[in-house]
Amino acid sequence: MDGTSSEPNSMTPEITGDPVAGRRILLGVTGGIAAYKSVELARRLVDRGAYVIPVMTKNAERFIGRATLSALSSEPVHTEIYDDSDPIVHTRLARECDLIVVAPATARLLGEYAAGISRDLLMNTLLASEAPVILCPAMHHEMWGHPATRENVTRLRGRGVTIVAPEHGRLAGGDLGEGRLAETETILAAISERLGHQNDLAGYHVVVSAGGTREAIDPVRFLSNHSSGRQGYAIARAARARGARVSLVTTVDLEPPVGVETIEVVSAEDLNREVMALARVADVVVMAAAVADFRPERVAPQKLKKADGPPEFVLVPTIDTLAELGRHRRTGQIIVGFAAETQEVERNAQEKLIRKGADLMVVNDVTREGVGFTVATNAVTILDRDGGRAEVPLAPKSTIAHAVLDRITELLGEKLPSPTE
Ligand code: CTP
């Protein structure tokens, strides 16, 4: 995996004080008179060090030229869902950005986004993305005031979308009213606020392990478990979005989050070596990996043959990385373990937290529906050493990731007054 680290702005942003600098911002432009103002927005964002990815709808092209927006953004304009060189362009765009801003956003876009209907690349990208979204509506004042638009706006706000309300002013056709695209300064302030809020891990180095380890039996077989690695990846992606430098030690071949250093490993032993090396300089280590507790004592040098009868395995314990981290922690370092349990869930997890010397233990009951390894959702309880507990109800793994990071940033605030790097 290359971690796409050659991208100009894919590296962890420097702490410049400007939350926009170094961020990947997807700028959606829909078809309205105000579309020309998106060019100025793109230019201002690029000037502040953002990497701007422009996406235009077909109607937007009636109002501004692709060449103009491409020239002032960081890469050429995208418009097509189907692109020969990249058959799933919307999922790539959706994953690779830290924020989506649509300016101007038409009544059609508000309606389709509220209803989850997709007919073009911009809507596909919005629906595929977990990044924060800012919509800047612009339309005739009757349309802005229509009950359908009001309902759509309320619904979108309820889902966490920031709506930068249009301003009062002169509209197309010479009318006066509320519907004019907000000033560029207002939109920039909304972007800074949304990203700034998420910059609370800037300067910290977070190490995350993900996936189930594979312990070789012979050259073609291994012992493993059902872990998909998705929760670990969600934590790595969320930590990166909040400004951390992130190293992901993984056993699975999922698409690496942009800007995250990815290290592939196979066995518990490999994982231990890589995590312990990174832990020497990390501020936070999150052990989301499902590490095998035992491995075959010896790996057969040749493939075991059925004709030789059922093999007998002697299993020996692997190194417990979490416990080792607990024993060798740096001053102020935060160590987080995961516990997937099937019975006496919290009692087992609390005992593990103390035994392994972790600061937090993220516990889930994998017998519950919608919880566990292969699904996209999870529900967890976050336990701390002082007996504190926080429940995070069933939610996408990205939401769980942010809840875990919220708890980590609280602890960092108590232990480390400022970033160490
Ligand atoms: N872990 C680890 N190294 C191991 C085993 C587990 O670092 N060899 C970590 C996991 O990444 C996880 C935590 O320890 O963060 C709890 O893992 P779990 O397998 O539930 O703990 P065990 O001590 O193996 O307990 P159990 O008896 O439930 O298997």
Protein residue closest via CA to atom 6 of ligand 1: 291
Take atom 24 of ligand 1 and give the residue whose Cα is closest: 293
- CA of residue 272 to ligand 1 center, whole Å: 12
Distance 148 CA to ligand 1 centre (A): 52
Distance 340 CA to ligand 1 centre (A): 9
Residue nearest to atom 21 of ligand 1 (CA): 339
At 178 the pLDDT is 87
**CATH of the structural domain 24-195, one choice from 3.20.20.70, 3.30.930.10, 3.40.50.1950, 3.40.50.720:** 3.40.50.1950
Span 373-399, average pLDDT:
86
pLDDT confidence of residue 84: 60
* Per-residue pLDDT at 10: 36
- Higher-scoring residue by pLDDT: 381, 415: 381
Tens digits of residue pLDDT in 267-326:
999 999 999 999 999 999 999 999 999 999 999 999 999 999 999 999 999 999 999 999
Mean pLDDT of 72-81: 93
| pLDDT number for residue 356 | 97
What is the pLDDT, as a whole number, of residue 21?
81
Is 205-415 the same fold as 24-195? yes
Query: Which residue puts its alpha carbon closest to atom 9 of ligand 1?
Result: 322
- pLDDT (tens digit per residue) in 349-369: 999 999 999 999 999 998 888
pLDDT digits (tens, 9 = 90+) for 103-161: 999 999 999 999 999 989 999 999 999 889 999 999 999 999 999 999 999 999 878 88
Distance from the alpha carbon of residue 320 to the mean position of ligand 1, in angstroms: 7
Q: Is the pLDDT of residue 417 over 90?
A: no
- Site to probe by mutation for ligand 1, drawn from 293, 342, 351, 367 as the one with most ligand atoms within 8 Å of Cβ, is 293
Q: What is the pTM of this model?
A: 0.67
Render pLDDT for 17-35 as a digit per residue (tens, 0 to 9). Answer: 577 888 899 999 999 999 9
Task: Give the binding-site residues of ligand 1, using a 6 Å CB cut-off.
Answer: 268, 287, 289, 291, 293, 318, 320-322, 337-339, 352
Q: Which of 199, 225, 272, 348 is catalytic?
A: 225
Which CATH class, in words, describes the domain spanning 205-415? alpha beta
Instruction: Please state the atom number of ligand 1 nearest to the C-alpha of residue 318.
Output: 8
CA 389 – ligand 1 centroid, Å: 20
**Measured in angstroms, how far is the CA atom of residue 336 from the centroid of ligand 1?**
11
Question: What's the mean per-residue pLDDT of the chain?
Answer: 89
Poorest-pLDDT segment among 39-48, 128-137, 251-260, 381-390: 251-260
* Whether residue 12 has pLDDT greater than 60: no
Q: Residue 361 CA: which ligand 1 atom is closest?
A: 15
Residue ranges per structural domain of the chain: 24-195, 205-415
pLDDT interval class at 92 (50, 70, 90):
confident
Q: Is 124 a catalytic residue?
A: no
pLDDT at residue 13 tops 90: no
| Token duo for residue 222 | 């291994």
Ligand 1 atom closest to Cα of 321?
7
> Pick the residue with more confidence: 196 or 187?
187
Q: Which atom of ligand 1 approaches the CA of 336 most closely?
A: 15
Q: Give the residue whose CA is nearest to atom 14 of ligand 1.
A: 322
Question: Is residue 418 very low, low, confident or very high in pLDDT (cuts 50, 70, 90)?
Answer: low
* pLDDT confidence bin for 419, thresholds 50/70/90: low
pLDDT at 197 over 80: no
